[in-house]
Structure 1
Amino acid sequence: AEWDPYTRPILTEIEGRVAFEDLVDGISVQETADESTGITKREVIDWRSTPRGSDLKPAIVIQDAKGKVGKLSKGGDARFLLSVEAILSVEPGAHVKPGDVLARIPMESAKTKDITGGLPRVAELFEARRPKDHAIIAEIDGTIRFGRDYKNKRRIIIEPHDSTLEPVEYLIPKGKPFHLQDGDVIEKGDYILDGNPAPHDILAIKGVEALASYLVNEIQEVYRLQGVSINDKHIEVIVRQMLQKVEITTQGDSTYIPGDHVDVIELEEVNERLIEDGKKPAEGQPVLLGITKASLQTPSFISAASFQETTRVLTEAAVAGKTDMLQGLKENVIVGRLIPAGTGGTMSQIRRIATSRDELIIDERRKASGVEVADPMLTDMVNAAQ
């Protein structure tokens, strides 16, 4: 046997006789000839396009000596469902042994990469859009079972190994390249259907680190194809901003409401104070935002207004009476201050220390002179300097 890098083989696990199910000439299967070599092959065609083919389930079955469907070692029937463009490697009635190839699925029809390249692909990743015909990822560990089909969809059920979990169902369009068989063991995070995965699915199933690694690698791949070398840290900074928000799931003793979107750093600070006071901290799950949405949700309204929807951002800030603490780089550049990084960060820290010392001296002098009421203008100046 020779390894074919352009197809994915479907192998039999048991010995027996081959039988075809719902493989009807001209409806679900046809014989074609290769123009260059002249070699003929039988391949599965799209049976849904014909009036009589809507209820067909093309499959290869392995029968035992009594003519009954054989059983696999995992407990399922020896029935191998075929997808569109699958190439048949056996004939009805043929005797097969374990390891023999029953059919081959062309890799061209099961591409794992989107043909969209260049900047559109980068924009898709940075905006966290759900790709068209995206991959389906298994949510739990379990065993694949085929359920009753629904219209033009194939029902796939994952029976969990953990008895405390509920089975998970997926509906997959018939004709899509599908390489799993009834009884196959699948792990959490494995692909049920090939394609580009949706970033939100990776976050929900695999977690933040897996998503960050995926985004960095995919974006780098686009740039490397163009011969551009970029350090990972530049992309990682952007990905960090895309993952800066957390959705509150359990409010604990905080003032948050379940469903609120809160900055990760803010939630950590609030939880630290709650734990110090012996209270129950709030819990949340990471949220993925596209760079446009993430930029508009920054705490600084000056930074958000300089990006997009200036009128709306400034109007909302004015109505809500917001105060911009000028903690980021962008807003400090806009108002003409040193950025809070490098020497600018050191100067800001020295200025805060000097302001706090001035505040103590002013309070001591005020108490010494018997003045209890603080000067509001002086207080505002101190707060502004901070």
Structure 2
Amino acid sequence: MTLSRVRRERMGHIELAAPVAHIWFLKSLPSRIGLLLDMTLKDLERILYFENYVVTEPGLTPLKLHQLLSEEDFITAQDQYGDDSFTALIGAEAIREILSSMNLAKLADQLRQEIIESTSELKPKKLAKRVKIIEAFMESGNKPEWMIMNVVPVIPPDLRPLVPLDGGRFATSDLNDLYRRVINRNNRLKRLIELRAPDIIIRNEKRMLQESVDALFDNGRRGRVITGANKRPLKSLSDMLKGKQGRFRQNLLGKRVDYSGRSVIVVGPELKLHQCGLPKKMALELFKPFIYSRLDAKGFSSTVKQAKKLVEKERPEVWDILDEVIREHPVMLNRAPTLHRLGIQAFEPILIEGKAIQLHPLVCSAFNADFDGDQMAVHIPLSLEAQLEARVLMMSTNNILHPANGAPIIVPSQDIVLGLYYLSIMADGEPGEGMAFSDIGELQHALDSKSVTMHTKIRGRFKTVDKDGKPVSKIFERRPAGC
């Protein structure tokens, strides 16, 4: 007996009947195998896909080392010099033979000498690239012949699942189809070798095996794209790793986290700079553990199950407790792409109706946000330390200057400038002219009761200190619109 999780851990392998080249080392730019052997990609492909022979041991013949021979040239050379006078191979075996016979240390010294003696401008650059790859092999302890494979690894079954559908049918991962092609061709090649089939048939089967392994690693990189039953290109191992939806960016760098949400942003003109509007339903979901704890502490529930029921029914006491929980508990808003530190800032949440997050218009430039459908993520700092750091370091009111150049980043623009201009207009003969107010609350009350208007000339008292540092009250003349 064993655990089911081993289906995500245990790998398998396919032992190949003939060696094949790894397409990542063959077709990358520049080709690593080509750079090491000082061969062009076209010549390498001719050898690997059984079009040309390559001389691995010229013997006493006038043939040159690594010279390419067509089928006709090979037969002619054998007739002319004899079968045992030279060695020429074809396919991945030929490349593996050449790679395994290389003396990396000696070749590196030879190339360095050539760089010193070279007089042209371009040649040293190419030689330096070869030296770099040789040094990388020597330092890492890898052997060049390992770029040619005898065994293909098979990823764990849970990463290439077989999902049962309605009606007794199955949906399978594309990788299973690609592995199946490799296994079928490999088994056929083994059988042909056992049957001692003609050389031309075996060579054709080896070429097909090379192509099927290429498609498994990187479908469409070379030759025709392999498609499934619905004419859709099959997803190879490379496709699973690369790009935005690949394993690295999607699953390793971009993990989903608890206590976070996402919604469209809308403007919140009535918010203060340090506030953001958080939809009630979203806040209820995000702050659930805090609500359960507070319900238990206040005696509304004795178990988590009871607390869950109260929250699910959205009882009035739940909303009261949510108000208490979010008071002075900052939340962090993030807008992708987060290109600088102002891409994530902390705000005090204000509960609002609806499903959209409200954002203060002045912080838009820091987030590079606008209200044409942008989305933002909400994160909840859980521990007291995290809440304190969010409040002290990340609060929007503490991030007024751009960290790169010190210029103000919270700058009024567009509607706000127009509104400020309108509010700052003074008019004579408005209701309540000359009235005096002691604080903002009084002024707001007068505005609400229409005792004064936005353009009324008023007087107000504010507390300050004189040149000796003693507290004094001063009277100033101001419009009520500034409240």
Scaled by the length of structure 2, the TM-score of the pair is: 0.22
Larger Rg: 2
